[in-house]
Structure 1
């Protein structure tokens, strides 16, 4: 995975595009890909409310929530396996 660019660099690149410079020229001047810069500009438009989509804070929160859900599902699976090994998954015969 490529190393992420600092937020200040991204903001400066997006500002150049918003000022009217073509994405291709800005990308060439900064040595970044046109597709990457296009994604940054699109996300900036979403964050500003100019376009529909998940804002950066919402996206970050969603990623954290999904990670926590995976962690909890793993913990539940471990508990189920442990209960099965210890025989706690069978009903009590005296009931």
Structure 2
């Protein structure tokens, strides 16, 4: 991938894996982060975040790897989709403090 192709890849919000790999290779080859950022038109912070995530993914730093983050994102999205369908009978029902069905089952009939 040439520098021109790398610069064109910057147009999308999510960078392709080969772009991210090339950025890390440029920094690993001894170029300064600021130089690579300016050359490619991305922020320094983007490079630092990507480098840190690479270290986590390779086991050199503790943290949640990229696969784990993807799974969490999918789970959070699914929860957000399901939340509006949760029944609500009052302030405490979301906390599981009062469930009318369970209450009726536990309460003995009055004679």
Give the TM-score normalised by the residue count of structure 1: 0.71
Segments of 5+ residues of structure 2 without an aligned counterpart are 1-11, 90-99
| Mapped pair 1:44 → 2:54 | yes
| Mapped pair 1:19 → 2:29 | yes
Q: What CA distance in whole angstroms lies between the structure 2 residues aligned with 1:15 and 1:74?
A: 45
RMSD, aligned CA: 2.3
Q: Pairwise mapping of residues 16-95 of structure 1 onto structure 2 (< 5 A)?
A: 16-77=26-87, 80=88
Extract structure 1 runs of 4+ deviating beyond 3 A.
none
More helix by share: 1
Give the TM-score normalised by the residue count of structure 2: 0.62
Structure 1 residue 65 displacement after superposition: 0.8
User: Equivalent of 1:6, from 11, 16, 41?
Assistant: 16
Structure 1 residue 74 displacement after superposition: 1.8
Segments of 5+ residues of structure 1 without an aligned counterpart are 82-88
User: How many residues are matched?
Assistant: 82
